Amino acid sequence: MVKLAANLSLMFTHLAFLDRINAAADAGFRGVEFMFPYEFSADEIAARAARNGLEIVLFNLPAGDWERGQRGIGALPDQIDECRRGAAWALDYARRLGCRRLHLMAGKAPADPRNRRTLVDNVAFAADLFAPHGIDLLIEPINTRVDIPGYFYSTSEAALSVLSEVGRPNTKLQYDIYHMQVMEGDLARNIERLLPEIGHIQLADNPGRAEPGTGEINYTWLLPHIDALGYSGWIGCEYRPAGDTAAGLGWAEPFLNQTG
């Protein structure tokens, strides 16, 4: 069964953050994800999700000074302490929210040995911190052609090489279909090959990063194919709606109406 989670950082943005939880449930979603919850009360988010019967499936560790252009700090040697304090903060939120997946953003940094060592050590630290609580740590390659030039890794193989060096069982690949279409293509074969390493999938169409049906990716075929491969996790809808979020959900109706 295809399980779609609404990304509340990008969807229903005409509403206040907590009200987006209600809107996602009203639209038929049973899971939600978001980038950063830290300016809101974890207990209030959890209560709102529980009232709406929603599972919180993913959010990010603190990622540095976002307003000044930072996109993660995991690979930045001068911010190791900040990264590790952020891991503890994220763990506190995850436990309160019942969330079992957290994403550590590497940041914009050259893939040189010092930065790589920093990232490997930070991922290992966070994974060990999360493991006793049944929480997986995810890392995500992000396209450097359109969205984040200079990001530490932009291909699945580069991210997997970091996970291999970390060597922790609760570390997984976050596979974003949009980013990997930009950087790698051959989506069906790559997802099948990488499936044992994938802990979470996200989607958007390309170009434009809007909802499925607005670009070149054949999601009508691809989503059932992913399901047929045996993927049982959530697929986060991390896209920027081309118009009104609810009005653009026609593509999702066959999956939101599934039961099981």
Instruction: Check if the beta carbon of residue 85 is closer than 8 Å to that of residue 125.
Output: no
**CB count in 10 Å sphere of residue 157:** 11
Structure tokens at 94: 């995850």
The DSSP call for residue 246 is G
Rounded Cα–Cα distance for residues 210 and 127 (Å): 32
Rounded Cα–Cα distance for residues 54 and 119 (Å): 32
> What Rg value do the Cα atoms of the chain yield, rounded?
17
Residues that are catalytic: 140, 238
Backbone angles phi, psi at 72, to 5 degrees: 110, 160
Instruction: Check if the beta carbon of residue 133 is closer than 8 Å to that of residue 95.
Output: yes
> Which run of H or of E encompasses 122?
helix 113-130
Token match 């993660």: residue?
Answer: 72
Rounded Cα–Cα distance for residues 2 and 201 (Å): 11
HSE (side-chain half, CA atoms, 13 Å) at 189: 3
